[in-house]
Amino acid sequence: MNWEVVIGLETHAQLATHSKIFSGSSTAFGAAPNVQANAVDLALPGVLPVLNRAAVTCAIRFGLATGAHIAESSVFARKNYFYPDLPKGYQISQYEIPVVSGGVLTIRTESGEKTIRLTRAHLEEDAGKSLHEDFHGLSGIDLNRAGTPLLEIVSEPDMRSPAEAVAYARMLHRLVTWIGICDGNMQEGSFRCDANVSIRPQGQEAFGTRCEIKNLNSFRFLEKAMHYEIQRQIELVESGGVVIQETRLYDPERDETRPMRSKEDAQDYRYFPDPDLLPLHITADWVEQVRAQMPELPEAMQQRFVNDLGLSAYDAGVLTGSRATAQYFLQLLPLVEDDAKLCANWVTGELSAALHRDGVTEESSRISPQQLGGLLKRVKDGTISSKMAKELFEALWTDGGDADTLIESRGLRQISDAGALEDIVGALMAEHPAQVAEYRAGKEKVFGFFVGRAMKASGGRANPEQLNAVLKRKLAG
Amino acid sequence: MDLLNTSLRQLAAALRERRISSRELASAYLDRIDGLDSRLNAFITVDPERTLKQADLADERLSQGRGEALTGIPIAHKDIFCTQGWLTTCGSKMLSNFVAPYDAHVIEKFAAAGALILGKTNMDEFAMGSSNETSFYGPVKNPWDLRKVPGGSSGGSAAAVAARLAPAATATDTGGSIRQPAALCGVSGIKPTYGLVSRYGMIAYASSLDQGGVIAPGAEDLALVLNTMVGFDARDATSIGRPAEDYTALLGQPLRGLRIGLPREYFSTGVSADVSRAIEESLAEYKRLGAVLVEVTLPHSALSVPVYYVLAPAEASSNLARYDGVRYGWRAARYGDLTDMYERTRAEGFGPEVKRRILTGTYVLSRGYYDAYYLQAQRVRRLISNDFKEAFARCDVIMGPASPTVAFNLGEKTSDPVQMYLSDIFTISVNLAGLPGLSIPAGFGSGGLPVGLQLIGNHFNEGRLLQVAHQYQQATDWHRRVPSLDRTGETA
C-alpha cells in the first residue's frame, strides 16, 4: 500500500526580550542556577504576574509577518499541573483565545513552492529546568528559565514529508530571527520543535492517529526523528498493529523514538482564565506602531533581488537566508557600484566560507562590508585580479586593514601598462623562437604556454585581458 | 488619656503634639495583648521588641515634625499580608515556618507612613472560613462572649479591635471576611472596591474576589487607615490607578436626602428576629438623620452563595498549588517519590476546609464539568453585578444586615459546611460585583451580642459610604461599646 505522511509542527520560539514575561528578572542564558529567579519566579506566597509588553510586541510582529489575525482581546489562562520546575503549580499560557491566529508561511522544496497554514501563535511562560545528574540521587531545580517568554507557533497538518517539515522549520526559523523576536539558538533551546506525525493510505481523507515527537533540538534530528517515526508507523500498521496516540521522545543516540506518555495518562490541565491578569487588549495604534518598525520581509526581499538586481533565484535565496546575510549584502552593494552579481558571488562564496570556517555570522564577520567593498572596487577597476583578491581577502580576514594599503605594500597592483607588458612579451618571444614559430604555423595551443610564462614573469600581476591582447598582437607578427 | 479608647485622629494629634509618645502607645497595646490575648487567641505573632524599635523610630520622626496621619500608630495585620522578617502563616500549618522575605504593598505603605506593626492576627486557614475555626493556630474567641465565634476569616483582626488590643487592624475580604467578623465583634470594617488596595504580598485565596481592607472601632478610623492603604501598584495587574482621595473629606456632611436602598431579598427570609429588630432601629435612626428609604431588588442574590462556592474554590485550587513542599513552607518529613512527597506534604499541611475547597475547585474546573459549573457561575456573576447596577439607579447606598445572625457558638457549625457558608449570604454578592462594602455596629441582639449593619456602595463610593457610617456614629455610640471580657466559656 502507498502511505501518505501527514505532519504538523508545534514550535516554541523563545522571545528575545530582556526580562521575563511576567516578572522583571533577566532572561540572559547561562547564569548560575537560580540567580535569575525573583520572588515572582519563585512563586512566593502573595506575588502576582505583570505582563511584559515587549513580549506582546514580539507576537504582533509575528502576526504581521505571517499575515495572521491579531486578536484585539486575548486571554491568559492557567494550565494546571504539578512539577517541581513549575513553581506556581500552573503555567500561564493562552488557551481559548490566542493573541495570533491564522497566517501562512511559504516553503520551497525540490517539488516546488507550497503554502503552509498556521493555526495559531500564543504567548506563554517557560518552566524551569530539572537537573537529574550530579545530585547523588536527588534532583536539582534551576528556575532561571522559569517565566521566560515563549511564542508557541502551531501549524496546520499541511506537510506531507519530512523534507517539507524541515523546510517549514527552517523557514520559520529564518522568519523569527529575521524579524528579531527570537535569537534562534537551537542548542540553548531558543527554538524548539515538536512534530505531530501520522500516516494514512494514499487517497484517504481522514487523518490517521498521530504521535507527537518531542526533544528535537536540531533540524537534523527533526528530519531523522520523522523518518524513523514514519517507518515505525508504516511497519506497525502493515504488520496488523494500530498506532496509538501518544507523546514520544526522540533519542538521537539510538536514532529512535520512544513512548513518553500515552493519551490515557494525558492530564486534565483544568485551563481557566487567569484572574490575576486582565484580558490582553491590543489597540490598532499598537499594531500600527509595530508595523511601522517592521523590516522588509525575507520573501519580499528575495523577490526584489531577482526582479530588480537580476540575481538568480538561488543567489537571492542564499542572500536572504538570514537577516545578517541580507544586511551585509545590502551594505556592500553601493560600495561596489551596485554590481549585484559580483557582490553576490563574494558574499555567498569567499565570505560565507570564511564565516562558516570560524563558526560566526555576518554580524561578527572579521571583514566588514566596508573592507570587502574596498577590495571589490579594486577588482572592478582592474587594479587586481580576482585570484589576487582572494589572497587579499584571506590577508584582510587574518590581519585586518584595508585593501588599498595592502595592494600598495605588497606591490600587487596589476600591470596594465601596455609598454611594460610588451617588454615582457618581447623578451619571452626572443627566448622561445621555436614556440613562436609553432604558433605562427597554426598551433594555437602554444598561446597558453606564453600566457603562463608571461604571468610568471610578471609575478602574477599582469592584467590577464591586456596580456591576452598584447600576446595576440605580437605573436601574430 | 485613655490610650485604648481614643480615636485614631485624636491619637495621631496627641502623637504629633508630643503629648504621648509612640513607645507609650505601643506599650499600652502590647501590655493589653500580653494580658488578654491568651483568652482571645487573636494574635499569631507578637514581637514587642520589634514593635518598640519601630515606635522609637516613629518618635524620632515625630520629634522632627515629620509625622503623618498614622506615624507612631500601632496597627495589627492579618497574617495574610507578607511582612518581611515576620512569620507569615496565613493561618496554615503549610506556612507555619514561612518568614516572608518581602513586604506586601500594603505593609510598605504603612511603613512609609511611619505606622508600627503591632503583630500578626489570627485568621481562618488561607482565609477560608466564616468563624475562625479553621485556623491551624486554633479559633479566636469572640470578646463579647468567649464561647462564641468572632466570625471569619478576619476573626483575629475583628476580635483584636473589639477588645481594644489594637486601635486598627488590616483584614481581607473575599466573601465577607471583613464585614461578617466586624459585625459579629461589634466593630466597623470596610472592604473597598476591588482593585483599590494592591493584592501584591497579600496571600491569594480567590484572586478575582480578594480585597484588602480595614477593621477599626469607627468609620472615621477606617477612613484614616484607608487613606494610607489605598493606592496604585504596578506589581498588581488588577490594581486601579486613580487620583488619591481623602476618605475623610465627606465625613462631616449631613445625610439629608440620602436614598437608602433596601433590597427586598435581604429582609425577607433567613434573618433572625433579633438581628431584624436592630437593623430596623438603625434604619429608623437614618430616617431621623434625613435619609429616605426606598425598596430595591437584587433578584439573583440567592444565587450568590452557590456562585461563590464554585468560583472561589476554582481559583483557590490553582492558587494553592504552589504549596508543594519544594521551595518553602511545610514539607512532609518522610516520603518516597515525588508524587508521595506532594501528597504527604499537602495532606499534612492543609486543614480539612482548605482541602474541601481545593477538591471542589478542582472538580468544577475538570474536563466535562467546566462549562456546567465554572462558566455558568461566571454568567450568573454578571447577572448579580447587573442587579446592583440597576439598584444603584434608584438609591445612593444599599443597606441590610451584614450577617443573618449574631455570633454563634464555637463548634456549632463546623460539622455542617453549608450552614457555615450561609452565614456569608449577605456579604458574598458584594465581592462578586467588586463593590465596596462596610459593616458598622448597630446595636445588640440576643445574648447581648453585636449586630452589624451592612452598607453597600457603588464602585469607588468609599468616601460616601464612610460619611453615611460616620453620621450614624455621630448619633449613636454602638461603636464605642467595649466588651468587658468577663463572659467566658469557663464560667458558663
Q: How far is A46 from chain B (nearest CA, A)?
A: 4
Report residue A264's pLDDT band, with 50, 70 and 90 as the boundaries. Answer: low
Beta-strand pair B188-191/B437-444:
antiparallel
Average pLDDT over residues B119-130: 98
Residue A474 pLDDT grade (very low, low, confident, very high; cuts 50, 70, 90):
confident
Chains A, B: CB contacts within 8 A come to 95
Distances (CA, A) of A32 to A14, A35, A36, A38, B133: 19, 6, 8, 14, 45
One-letter amino acid identity for A344?
A
B490 falls within a domain: no
Q: How far apart are the CA of A285 and the nearest CA of chain B, in angstroms? A: 21
Q: What percent of chain A has pLDDT over 70?
A: 99
Q: Which residues of B touch A89 (CB under 8 A)?
A: 318, 320-322, 324
B-chain residues near A277 (CB < 8 A): 237
B88 and B99 Cβ atoms separated by less than 8 Å:
yes
Rounded to the nearest 5°, which phi and psi values hold at A436? -60, -45
How many Cβ atoms sit within 10 Å of the Cβ of residue B202?
28
CB of A464 within 8 A of CB of A419?
Answer: no
B216: left (phi over 0), alpha (psi -120 to 50) or beta: beta
- What whole-number distance in Å separates Cα of residue A64 and Cα of residue B175? 44
pLDDT at residue B281, rounded to an integer:
98
Distance CA A228, CA A323 (A): 33
The candidate with the shortest Cα–Cα distance to A61, out of A103, A1, A31, A97, is A103
> Distance from CA of residue B105 to its chain's centroid?
17
Question: Is A270 within 8 Å of B203 when comparing Cβ atoms?
Answer: no
User: Poorest-confidence range of A456-465, B249-258, B370-379, B431-440?
Assistant: A456-465
Grid cell for residue B9: 485622629
Number of Cβ within a 10 Å radius of residue A459: 10
Instruction: Identify each DSSP E strand in A21-136 by its residue range.
Output: 69-70, 73-74, 76-80, 90-94, 100-101, 104-109, 112-125, 129-131
CA distance A261 to A249: 9
Which three cell numbers mark A392? 587579499
All residues of chain B having their beta carbon less than 8 Å from the beta carbon of residue A46 are 81-82, 100, 104, 199-204
Q: Which residue has the higher pLDDT, A265 or A211?
A: A211
Cβ of A88 within 8 Å of Cβ of B321? The answer is yes
Residue found by looking up cell 509588553 in the block: A53
Do the chains contact at B237 and A45, CB–CB below 8 Å? no
pLDDT band of B488, cuts 50, 70, 90? low
Residue B415 maps to a domain: no
Say whether B433 sits in a helix, a strand or coil. coil
pLDDT value of residue B329: 97
Q: Which of A272, A274, A281 to mutate to test the interface with B (most CBs of B within 10 A)?
A: A272
pLDDT of residue A411: 74
CA angle B15, B485, B450 (to 5 degrees): 90
Among the partner-chain residues B98, B208, B322, the one whose CB lies closest to the CB of A87 is B322
Residues of B in contact with A271 (CB under 8 A): 365
pLDDT, mean of residues A239-262: 91
- The shortest CB-CB distance from B324 to any of A48, A89, A276 is to A89
pLDDT given at position B92: 98
**In this structure, are residues A55 and A46 in contact, taking their beta carbons and an 8 Å threshold?**
no
Dihedral (CA of A373, A378, A380, A384) sign: negative
Helix, coil or strand: residue B68: coil
B302 inside domain: no
Closest approach of A376 to chain B, Cα-based (Å): 55
pLDDT of residue A191: 96
CB A421 within 8 A of CB A467: yes
Residue A442: its pLDDT value, please? 86
pLDDT band, very low/low/confident/very high, at A263 (cuts 50, 70, 90) = low
What are the E-state strand segments in B362-486? 397-401, 437-444, 450-456
Q: Is the residue at B65 inside a domain?
A: yes
Query: Who among A44, A50, A276 is closest to B207 (CB)?
Result: A276
The pLDDT tens digits for B320-363 are 999 999 999 999 999 999 999 999 999 999 999 999 999 999 99
Kindly state the cell numbers that stand for A288. 500600527
What is the pLDDT of chain B when averaged over all its residues?
Answer: 96
Residues of A at the B interface (Cβ-Cβ below 8 Å)?
39, 42-51, 78, 80, 82, 84, 87-90, 141, 268, 270-272, 275-278
Catalytic site residue B413? no
Contact B367 A268 (CB under 8 A): yes
Interface test with B, best of A44, A131, A278 (most B CBs within 10 A): A44
**Chain B hits for A51, Cβ within 8 Å:** 237
Query: How many structural domains are present in chain B?
Result: 1
* Residue B177 annotated as catalytic: yes
Domains recognised in chain A with CATH numbers:
3-288 (no CATH), 296-409 (no CATH), 418-475 (1.10.10.410)
* Nearest CA among B326, B315, B324 for reference residue B362: B315
Share of chain B above pLDDT 90, in %: 94
Report the gap between the CA of A34 and the closest CA in chain B (Å): 12
Residue B489's pLDDT is 47
Q: With respect to residue B461, please indicate whether it lies within any of the assigned structural domains.
A: no
B396 versus A403: the higher-pLDDT residue is: B396
Residue B73 domain flag: yes
Q: Is the pLDDT of residue A136 over 90?
A: no
Please give the residue of chain A at the shortest CA–CA distance from B328.
A44
Contact A116, A159 (CB under 8 A): yes
Mutate to test the interface with A, among B322, B359, B378 (most CBs of A within 10 A): B322
Set B135, B177, B301, B439: catalytic member:
B177
Q: Is A178 left (phi over 0), alpha (psi -120 to 50) or beta?
A: alpha
- In angstroms, the CA A49 to CA A73 distance is 18
The beta-carbon neighbor of A87 closest among B102, B327, B370 is B327
Whether residues B326 and A45 touch (CB distance < 8 A) is answered with no
Residue of A nearest to B375 (CA): A272
Candidate list B130, B153, B188, B304, residue with the active-site label: B153
- DSSP one-letter code for A26: B
Angle (CA) A103 A109 A111, round 5°: 110
Q: How far apart are CA A224 and CA A165, in angstroms?
A: 11
Whether residue A310 has pLDDT greater than 80 = yes
Residue A387 grid cell? 585570484
User: Residue A56 in contact with residue A281, Cβ under 8 Å?
Assistant: no
By the 8 A CB rule, do B384 and B301 touch? yes
Cα-Cα end-to-end distance for chain A: 76
Contact B274/B451 with Cβ under 8 angstroms?
yes
Whole-number Cα distances in Å, A297 to A12, A177, A302? 21, 11, 9
The verdict on a CB contact (< 8 Å) between A48 and B322 is: no
- The CATH number of the domain holding residue B44 is 3.90.1300.10
Please report which helix (H) or strand (E) contains residue B55, including its range: helix B48-63
Contact A48 B237 (CB under 8 A): yes
Question: Is B303 within a domain?
Answer: no
Chain A residues with CB-CB distance to B100 below 8 A: 44-46
Q: What integer is the mean pLDDT of A303-316? A: 95
Q: Quick check: is B269 in a domain?
A: no
The percentage of residues in chain A with a pLDDT greater than 90, rounded to a whole number, is 72
Q: Which domain holds residue B86?
A: 3-257
Distance in angstroms (rounded) separating the CA atoms of residues A156 and A117: 6
Query: From the candidates B335, B360, B365, which should be mutated to test the interface with A, based on the most A CB atoms within 10 A?
Result: B365
Mean of pLDDT values over A110-124: 95
Q: Do the beta carbons of residue B178 and residue B130 sit within 8 Å?
A: no
Residue A350: which region, alpha, beta or left (left: phi > 0; alpha: psi -120 to 50)? alpha
State how beta strands B450-456 and B74-78 pair. Answer: unpaired
CB within 8 Å: B234 and A50 = yes
Confidence check: pLDDT of B490 > 60: no
SS (H, E, C) A340-351: HHHHHHHHHHHH
- Residue B35's beta-bridge partner residues? none
pLDDT at B419 over 80: yes
Cβ–Cβ under 8 Å, residues A323 and A362:
no
Q: CA of A40, closest CA in chain B: separation in Å?
A: 10
Is the pLDDT score of B491 beyond 80? no
A42-47 mean pLDDT: 98
pLDDT > 70? residue A265: no
Least confidently predicted of A231-240, B136-145, B417-426? B417-426
